[in-house]
């Protein structure tokens, strides 16, 4: 598959109170976000277990974004403290296992940060596009 034709499929886990509202904010402001972003809403980024991320890759996502509130802003006060420890650890593990760790990204996007949402998602889609489809990195 030529690189130009490859449209990465990115599953983005968004926390309900910050990122999901931020994505709405982007939409209301009529800012463009890439269609490659496949959103899944959860109540808190702390809900995202390593199992869910791994299953998402298993299902064929080329990239996974885990997004939540900035530190100190978590609607549930400290849910994102666990996210910030878990996701970078999982990224390292992917790298150790020979899977490009850049396919997994943690980002904080708040409810008022519509423009940041579009910027972050656009950048991630382009990065994953250069990495190529996941199927080329893991056994077919």
Partner 1 sequence: MNEQPVPSIIEAIRQTVAERLQELDGVVGLRRSSEGVAPHVFQQGDDLSELEIVPRYPLTTVVSRLHKSFPEIRLGIVARGCDERAFVEMAKRNQIDPDRLFILGIACTAEEAEECHCAAPFPKHLVVGKPVAPGSPNPVVAEYDNTPLAKRNAFWRRQFAKCIKCYGCRNICPECFCEDCAMEDPAWVEPGLLAPPFPVFHLIRAMHMASRCVACRQCDLTCPAHIPLTVLYDLMRRDMEATLGYIPGEDIKAPPPLSVTLNEAPLLVNTGHMD
Partner 2 sequence: MMDAGRHPNITLMTYSEVEEVSGYIGQFKVKVRQRPRYVDMDLCTGCGACVEACVFKKGVPNEFDEGLSRRKGVYIPMNGQGVPMKAVIDEDACLFLHRGKCVKKCMDACPTNAIDFDQKERLVDLEVGSIVVATGFDKFDAARLSAYSWGKSPNIIDGLQFERLSSATGPTKGEILTAEGNKPSRVAIIHCVGSRDENANRYCSRVCCMYALKHAHLVRDKTGAEVFEFYMDIRAFGKGYEEFYERVQEEGVYFVRGRGAEIVVLENGKLQIKAEDTTLGIPVAIDVDMAILATAMEPQTDADHVAALFGLSRSADGFFQEAHPKLRPFHTNTDGVFLAGTCQSPKDVPDTVAHANAAAAEALVILDRGEVLISPTTAMVVEERCVGCGDCVLVCPYSAISLLNSKAHLNSALCKGCGTCVATCPSGAIEALHFTDQQIVAEIEGVLAWQ
| Interface with partner 2 (CB under 8 A) | 9, 11, 38-40, 42-44, 46-49, 51-52, 55-56, 59-61, 74-79, 82, 86
Sort 69 into a burial class: Cβ within 10 Å, 0-12 / 13-18 / 19+.
Answer: buried
**Among residues 55, 112, 123, 126, the one that binds partner 1 under rule CB under 8 A:** 55
Give the SS3 label for residue 48: coil
Q: Output 60 or 88, the one with its CB closest to partner 2.
A: 60
Q: Judged by CB under 8 A, how many residues of this single chain contact partner 1? A: 35
Contact by Cβ (8 Å): 134, 100: no
Nearest to 18 by CA among 66, 87, 70: 70
Q: Which residues bind partner 1 (CB under 8 A)?
A: 50-51, 54-55, 57-58, 70-71, 78, 81-82, 84-86, 88-90, 92-100, 106-108, 134-135, 137-140
């Amino acid at each position: 598959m030529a690189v130009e034709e490859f449209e990465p499929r990115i599953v983005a886990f968004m926390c309900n109170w910050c990122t999901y509202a931020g994505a709405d904010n982007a939409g209301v402001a009529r800012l463009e976000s890439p269609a490659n972003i496949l959103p899944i809403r959860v109540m808190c980024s702390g809900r995202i277990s390593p199992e869910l991320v791994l299953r998402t890759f298993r299902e064929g996502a080329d990239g996974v974004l885990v997004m939540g509130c900035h530190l100190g802003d978590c609607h549930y006060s400290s849910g994102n403290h666990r996210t910030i420890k878990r996701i970078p650890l999982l990224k390292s593990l992917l790298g150790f296992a020979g899977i490009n760790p850049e396919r997994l990204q943690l980002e904080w996007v708040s409810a008022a940060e519509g423009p940041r949402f579009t910027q972050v998602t656009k950048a991630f889609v382009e990065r994953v596009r250069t990495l190529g489809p996941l199927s080329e990195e893991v056994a077919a």
